[in-house]
Structure 1
Amino acid sequence: MKITFLLHNAYAIGGTVRSTLTLAGALAARHEVEIVSVFRTAAQPLLGVSGDVRLIPLVDERPDSPAYDGGHELMARPSVLVPPTEVLAHRYTALTDARLRAFLDTTDADVLVATRPALVVVLAGHGPRHAIRIGQEHLSYDHHVPGVRAAQNEAIARLDAFVTVSARDAADHRRRLPGPRTRITDIPNAAPRPRAEPSDLRAPLVVAAGRLVPVKRYDLLVEAFAKVVAERPEWRLRIHGQGPERARLRAAVAAHGLNDHVFLMGPHTTLETEWAKASVAVVSSAWESFGMTILEAMHAGVPVVATDCPHGPGEIITDGSDGLLVPPDDPDALATGLLRLINDPGLRRTLGTAGRTTVQRYAPATVADRYERLIAEVRGARRPGLVAGLGRWLGLAVPEQGWPARRTAPGRGTRRAVPERGARRAGAAPAAGTGRRPSRPRADCRVDARRDVRVAVGWPDASGQDLVLVLRHRHGDDELRVPLEREAPEREAPEQETPEHETPDAPASRWTALLRLGRPPLAEGRWDLYAERAGDGVRRRLRAGLVEQRNLLTSEFTGAGPVAWWIPYTTKDGYLALRTFHRTAHAEVTALPVGEGSSAVEGVLHGAALGAGAALVGVARGGQAADFEAPVECTGGRLPDGHPCHGRLFHGRVPSPPEPAAPGKVIWDLFLRPATDAEPIRLGRLFGDIVNRRDTDTYPEVTLPTPPGGSVRVRFFFTVTNDLAVSVSRPG
């Protein structure tokens, strides 16, 4: 059977994209599957596509692409197929209309599935009658504007089936649309098994993820977390995602004084590694169509606190059994739920373990089975009495217990060859070449409990050859060469458990290398990683696979020095790199208490000890202003790992720097001078798993008084090297 999904943009990041790619990959184990992406905005899908799925983009929006469609004359004319009130109607044009019509007029698909209202409308009006036509609802009945709601309602009546992701929403649709004979049912999204290690529930970290939009109620979460911090100040909250609420949320974080506790992390393409860092997951929404983040957290063994909002959380979580449900729009209740888990490690483990059992109900193969059953029932409804005949048409014997696990359709032979990803369909747009390109090596990376870095390389083109891992300093000629040792091939996992991001080029064996922290010491900076074939010296930069940094959150640097810290990460263009810090001594910033009229620095000194004359020193860049210094106090107490501080914990108040002589900002880099005659040591935030803190660790401007009676605006920030600086400007 041939199944085609119509998707807005398979090259973007989003819940609908992720769930469609997962379902397509699961169905491709038994059927011929393709995804038609109306738009193409990147060279490769950011979330990865199963190698068994054909991907067909219709309109290329990449200005640097030879197939760029931006200059096409039809791009200037609006769409007549898409409802004008659709939230993304401005993206659709006469060209998308023409390409969609051309595809639908020529497709030989047995089943067509539309994944958003615009495409549901197009499929209902122009989809071929021979095909089973299915619409999907990834929001809910009440969450579309009236024009879109009316257009989709009319379209639903002309489809064979319409699928929601929650039972409650399916019931809402059936109640509101009593007339159509269309089969309206619910099938949840699939949650693929992650490859990342599950959480060990050790880090004092709460994680949330989703679009930064009002319905997610992250403002309420920030308010609730202020109550958590008042009781448990060592805990942190990370919110992953992007969206229009970012600036407002940053303001809320500052208003609650949580800049050292709440971090807006931006989008992340592989959230499975981020859930593995968490000890608690949280969903604060006023409404959820389903709850994919709940399933992702459960897979990682992380207990979830979720608002019992319509529609999804209450259908996934059994309160007190595999998670906690709290009333929506109630920050006190949300804080109570979070503190219940934070204060009870045993409950965290119990609920996390139960969640890993619950999430098995949403395995991709299980969800694919439900779609197969729906298709069989729809075909039977079209031709009553022929459900068994459908099984023969598909090459199946449909037993009472359900669909067989695997099949190959007679008359079709094995699955047809899959063109190169991104190839265009003939008649819809210019065809792309299908010649096989040389493969690029791909590497997974994991930090172990000792902060050593293990790299596992797969390179199909290097079969039977010896490989060397090469680390090259990005801004110099330094290289480190480490032999890669061949691993024995892993036992093949069942197809239904294959993560959606694995590719058809996955090699039969891999090569591994262990990079031991500080042995040899690597110069500070960024190192790019390559694989090199020993036989012919061919070198290829490593594409990043799974990069697991979990152990960096629960590791404390306790040595006397020098200070070494390595963070493996994925570059913006998808390659594996290593960020290294190497310093004789270092002053790690742990908190930056700020408020109107005062600003301070707290931290831990490594590789040196505080003595008489210890001071906080500000050095003006470019000699724009005078330097300044202020005394630093040893605060005593104990380190986060429980050891005595021995004069290493410090606190210093930032004095009012001199008022800038000219408009604009003056920047002072901040240092800690341990004693009167000692060399200043750079202040920074190097430890942990964040390569660039400039965007995540942010602080508001505060007003500091200057004599005689003036004032300046001061703001802490971290540089691109994660060192601490302060900018000063005149008010107004």
Structure 2
Amino acid sequence: MKIVFLLNNAYGVGGTIRSVANLSAALAERHDVRIASLYRSRTTPSLAFAPGVRITPLIDLRPDAADAAGQGPEPAEPSAVFADLPMNYGRIAPSGLSDRRMGDFLAKVDADVVISTRPVLNVYLARLGQPRYLRIAQEHLTHDARSRRARAVQLAAARELDALVCVSRRDAERYAEALRGSPVRVVNVPNCSPAPSVPPAAGDSRIIVAAGRLAPVKRYDRLIDAFAELAPEFPDWQLRIYGRGAERDALRRRIGAHGLHNRARLMGAASPIETEWVKGAVAAVSSDAESFGLTLVEAMRCGLPVVATDCPHGPGEIITHGENGVLSPLPGGSAALAAALRPLLADEALRRGLAARGRASAAAYAPGVIAARYEELFHAWAPDASTGGSRRGLGALWRLRRPTGIRPGGRPRGLAESAADGGLRVSLDGRSLPKGAGTLLLRLRHDPGGRELALPLPRVRGSRRVELTLDRETLELAEGRWDLFVATGLPEAPGRARRVAADQVRQAALVHAPPRVDGRGVSAWIPYRTKDGNLTVRAWLRPAHAEVDEVLLGDDAFTVRVTPAGAVGGPSGAGWRAVGENGGSVCDLGCAVDGDQLVVTIPFDAVAATPGDWRLALRAPDGTAVAAARIGGDVADRRATDVFPPRDGAGAALRLRFTLDHDLVLTVDA
């Protein structure tokens, strides 16, 4: 069959896009599948789609694109299709341009099935689609969660379509009741989640992980409040929330108000998310409503026990309380969520048992299983549909010709995985590598000396992966960002080099890893995926270092606890000093030894009179200067994750922060 999905913006992130990416990949194993994206916000998709799935953007909203002019919440040319359907359409409302582009696409598309995924697209499919193909709407929210006007738009569209697919059983029942008397078929087919391509979570990290849009319905404020209740009882646990959205600043203020800035972090969006799930020991869902709960299934498949609010509708259909997860009563608020989390934080055996049973039950949502349910519906509803695009039965010929997603002469692709000792394994897709001899190049970015390391690659054998280990014992990386390239030829005379695209970066082994200390000094290597999707290693190498362990915010002073390492040894004995440096200004700070740590006190009145950035520097008894920084762990850029609330004192606004190099500075604004 020829199957087309309609997405609002295939280039963004979110549960609907992930769901379509997963389902389209499974269907593409046996059918011709493509995606029409009404809008295009960036050059490449944020989420990975299967190599055989084509994406056709209809309106280009990238900066400086001609289409972008006149688009927005009040477009210059209003939509005629939606003239009788007023509602809040968000940042971009339907327009005359979207009417024409979508209408033209739906009129000409060669398809047996077209599946739309949100109310606006459902209306377009209902009013501009063609009866020659099966027209199916998906509901990725819920009937009751939609506003009155959005619900009216959704129902108006559904009445004119062939079918409406809801991702939860209870929501399908709700829609069936609302659409009684209409010929539209209403069915329930859940979302799917592929088996993760990372090893399952070890479960020993003492980290609670949550992931999703930072939106009011997700109620991360409830999760933060629950963690605040648990924090004194479980001082070695942390909270990480992944995602982006309008609630970020409010959530950050809430973290600060609870004094959790050392233990609760907003990590930003991550794709693929599975590499972040496996850093956790418990997954938490705190929503007021979940149409399905894809994050629950993703976390379960990654080997995490899941605690979720028993909200409408998804969690209760996925989790059997006490068997494969834990449900928290929604009316109980943060106290009930804390009570649900507490036994898991206290009992490792309980965590492991729930994780194992959850992982087994989540296999029911495998893409192949869910794709087969859709195929049954397609054939039942359109038994005479063309099979010209079907790939079923092509056997060995199809396997030989199946697209690999690797263009000849294209970019090399691979993954990086950190080891417990801080070393790095690089695994490259053999299909993306040049034939013959090859070299892995590591180039120090913006280095006047042009330093690079050249390592011979094992010879490519067919489509097998090519692996190389970067050993901390034998390799030294100067401080900076090392970009990875693959070049033709041998290390002695490498040829043309291309950047390595990062399909995946696995950093779980680094979560609680301290900086490495050896004869060369103090070092850390953190691999990461750049915003352009490239593979890079952030490296630090310093003769001596003071790792920032904790920051305490007082009413008239900051207190910073650090652990010295390297050439200066530990903080035994007297003679340590701490100073603040701001241009030509220098001030002495309080410095005391507490076991293996130094406790530095920064009185507000000592620095408030001089605006600018004060760098925190330590002086060892022998006079060696040691910078205070946070280079241990798995985070390649702490500026956006390790954020400390500001303080007002001595007539100035003061804020501790980490720089791009992870050095700790105090910014003073008069």
Give the TM-score, by structure 1 length: 0.85
Q: Is the contact made by 1:616 and 1:654 (CA closer than 8 Å) also made in structure 2?
A: no
How many residues of Structure 1 are paired with residues of Structure 2 in the alignment?
Answer: 655
Q: Indicate how the Cα distance of structure 1 residues 181 and 442 shifts in structure 2: closer, same or farther if over 3 A, else same.
A: same
Which deviates the most, 719-728 or 47-56? Answer: 47-56
1:150 Cα deviation from its structure 2 partner: 1.2
**SS in structure 1 opposite 2:562?**
strand
Q: Does the 8 Å CA contact 1:79/1:92 hold for their aligned counterparts? A: yes
Find out whether 1:570 has 2:511 as its counterpart: no
- Answer yes or no: is the 8 Å Cα contact 1:487–1:512 preserved in 2: no
Q: Name the amino acid aligned to 1:690.
A: V
TM alignment of 1:188-587, pairs within 5 A: 188-329=190-331, 330-379=333-382, 394=387, 407-408=392-393, 438-458=409-429, 460=431, 462-476=433-447, 477-486=450-459, 508-517=463-472, 519-534=474-489, 537-557=495-515, 559=517, 562-587=521-546
| Equivalent in 567, 570, 583 of residue 609 of structure 1 | 570
Q: What do the CA deviations read for 1:193-223 (whole angstroms, capped 9, x no partner)?
A: 1111211011111110111111111111111
What amino acid is the match of 2:77?
R
Partner of 2:36: 36
Pair 1:519–1:319, CA change in 2 (3 A)? same
1:723 is aligned, of 636, 660, 663, to 663
Find the residue that maps to 1:592 and give its secondary structure: strand
Deviation at residue 486 of structure 1 after TM alignment: 4.0
String of CA shifts for 1:335-359, please: whole Å, max 9, x gaps. Answer: 1222211111111111111111111
Displacement, 1:560? 5.7
Answer yes or no: is the 8 Å Cα contact 1:163–1:186 preserved in 2: yes
Identical counterparts, % of pairs: 41
Which deviates further from its counterpart, 250-259 or 92-101? 92-101
- Which whole-Å CA distance do the structure 1 matches of 2:237 and 2:400 have between them? 52
**Which of 110, 114, 127 is 1:125 aligned to?**
127
Q: CA RMSD in A?
A: 2.6
Deviates more, 1:467-476 or 1:150-159: 150-159
What is the match of residue 552 of structure 2? 593
How far off its partner does 1:714 sit? Answer: 2.0
The 1:20/1:169 distance shift into structure 2, 3 A limit, reads same
1:69 aligns with: 67
Letter in 2 for 1:266: G
Give the AA of the match of 2:346: N
Equivalent residue letter for 1:667: D
Alignment of 1:27-176 (within 5 A): 27-63=27-63, 68-70=66-68, 76-82=76-82, 83-88=85-90, 90-176=92-178
User: Does 1:10 find its partner at 2:10?
Assistant: yes
Where structure 2 has 5 or more consecutive residues not aligned to the other structure, the ranges are none
Contact 1:264–1:696 (8 Å) recurs in 2: yes
Query: Residue 71 and residue 282 in structure 1: after superposition, are their counterparts in 2 closer, same or farther (change >3 A)?
Result: closer
CA contact (8 A) 1:281 1:303 kept: yes
In 1, the alpha carbon distance for the partners of 2:312 and 2:133 equals 33
CA contact (8 A) 2:527 2:536 kept: yes
Contact 2:590-2:602 within 8 A present in 1 as well: no
CA contact (8 A) 1:717 1:725 kept: yes
CA distance in 1, matches of 2:623, 2:230: 40
Q: What whole-Å deviation, never above 9, does each CA across 1:653-690 have from its counterpart, x for those lacking one?
A: 2123446557xx32210012232x42221001100011
Return the alpha-carbon distance in structure 2 between the equivalents of residues 104 and 4 of structure 1.
Answer: 10
Partner of 1:669: 615
TM-score relative to the length of structure 2: 0.93
- CA–CA distance in 1 between the matches of 2:192 and 2:81? 30
Q: Aligned equivalents of 1:656 and 1:33: distance in 2?
A: 62
Are the aligned partners of 1:547 and 1:569 in contact in 2 as well (CA < 8 Å)?
Answer: yes
SS in 2 for 1:23: helix
Q: Deviations over 1:129-180 (max 9, x none)?
A: 1211100000000122222211221221111110011001001111222111
Provide closer, same or farther for how the CA distance between residues 521 and 40 of structure 1 changes in structure 2, counting only shifts above 3 A: same
**Amino acid corresponding to residue 540 of structure 1 in structure 2:** R
| Cα shift readout 1:47-103 (whole Å, capped 9, x = no counterpart) | 1221221221111222356xx423589973122224441434734221111011111
Deviation at 1:525, TM superposition (A): 0.6
User: How far, CA to CA, are the matches of 2:661 and 2:451 in structure 1?
Assistant: 19
| Structure 1 contact 114–136 (Cα < 8 Å) conserved | yes
Distance 1:572 1:73 in 2: 26
List runs of 5+ in structure 1 lacking aligned partners: 380-386, 397-404, 422-434, 490-507, 637-647, 706-710
Distance in 2 (CA, whole Å) between partners of 1:147 and 1:593 is: 48
CA drift of 1:275 comes to 0.4
1:218 and 1:116 mapped to 2: Cα distance?
A: 24
* Partner Cα distance (2:662, 2:355) in 1: 34
Q: For residues 444 and 73 of structure 1, what CA distance do their matches in structure 2 show?
A: 38
Give the equivalent residue in structure 2 for 1:655: 603
